[in-house]
């Protein structure tokens, strides 16, 4: 990303092993370098709720502005943190991946599910864009950090 390239990184692995922790650390570093306009972070389930809250209500903040302006890098945290509706995957996830791809921004994402699960959850066109030049890391940890 620092070299001006648009790499994709996908972290997979079970809950509580530090995927969000790493993605937030990357967000902090990249937004310090490039500024918060060119770099964005979105927790995907929360983003879906915010995007839907906009429908028919003009006064609600537009969550898309942050994604559209983030021409350097976007973090998509917890891609399938909850079961997405048909509308959410066909409209919201589609537009997220499309915007990031067309902007040539780096894409850093994480999900609890295995990468093979993508084909059950996203159309082939979105999977192809998400995985374009993507480094996939199956994160493992000795323990769930949320437990004592
Ligand atoms: N390397 C680490 N050192 C200390 N705390 C960590 C580390 N990795 C994760 N944690 C903490 O453990 C908890 C779970 O991590 P999180 O990143 O949310 O997991 P995941 O996104 O994989 O479900 C969080 O409170 C996080 O801050
Ligand atoms: Mg997480």
Question: Residue 64 — pLDDT band, cuts 50, 70, 90?
Answer: very high
97 vs 100: CA distance, rounded Å: 5
Question: Residue 61 — pLDDT band, cuts 50, 70, 90?
Answer: confident
68 vs 51: CA distance, rounded Å: 13
39 vs 66: CA distance, rounded Å: 8
Q: What is the mean pLDDT of residues 60-83?
A: 95
Per residue in 2-27, pLDDT (tens digit) is: 999 999 999 999 999 999 999 999 99
Task: Decide: 24 and 73 in contact? Cβ < 8 Å.
Answer: no
Q: What is the mean pLDDT of residues 108-127?
A: 94
Question: What is the CA(41)–ligand 2 centre distance, in A?
Answer: 13
| Unique residue bearing structure tokens 């917890």 | 78
Q: Which of 5-9, 28-32, 58-62, 86-90 has the lowest mean pLDDT?
A: 58-62
Q: What's the 3-state SS for 29-54?
A: HHHHHHCCCCEEEEEHHHHHHHHHHC
Per residue in 83-107, pLDDT (tens digit) is: 999 999 889 999 999 999 999 999 9
Question: Residue 116 — pLDDT band, cuts 50, 70, 90?
Answer: very high
CB-based burial, 34-58: b 16+ in 10 Å, e otherwise: beeebbbbbbbbebbebbeeeeeee
The whole-model pTM stands at 0.94
Question: What is the CA(56)–ligand 2 centre distance, in A?
Answer: 31
Question: What is the CA(78)–ligand 1 centre distance, in A?
Answer: 13
Task: Decide: 136 and 10 in contact? Cβ < 8 Å.
Answer: yes
User: Measuring from each residue's beta carbon to the nearest atom of ligand 1, which residues come in under 6 Å?
Assistant: 15-21, 145-146
Residue closest via CA to ligand 1's atom 18 equals 20
pLDDT, averaged across the chain: 94
Task: Decide: 69 and 57 in contact? Cβ < 8 Å.
Answer: no
Residue 75 is given by DSSP the state E
**Per-chain residues with Cβ under 5 A from ion ligand 2:** 20, 78
Q: Which pLDDT value is given to residue 146?
A: 84
């Amino acid at each position: 990303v620092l070299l001006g390239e648009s790499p994709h990184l996908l972290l997979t692995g079970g809950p509580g092993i530090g995927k969000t922790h790493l993605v937030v650390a990357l967000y902090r570093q990249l937004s310090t370098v490039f500024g918060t306009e060119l770099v964005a972070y979105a927790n995907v389930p929360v983003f879906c709720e915010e995007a839907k809250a906009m429908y028919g209500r003009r006064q609600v903040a537009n969550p898309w502005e942050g994604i559209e302006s983030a021409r350097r890098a976007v973090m998509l945290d917890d891609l399938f943190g909850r079961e997405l509706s048909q509308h959410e995957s066909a409209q919201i996830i589609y537009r997220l991946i499309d915007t990031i791809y067309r902007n040539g921004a780096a894409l850093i994402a994480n999900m609890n599910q295995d990468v093979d699960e993508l084909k059950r959850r996203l159309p082939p066109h979105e999977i192809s864009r998400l995985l374009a030049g993507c480094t996939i890391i199956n994160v493992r940890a000795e323990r769930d950090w949320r437990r004592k």
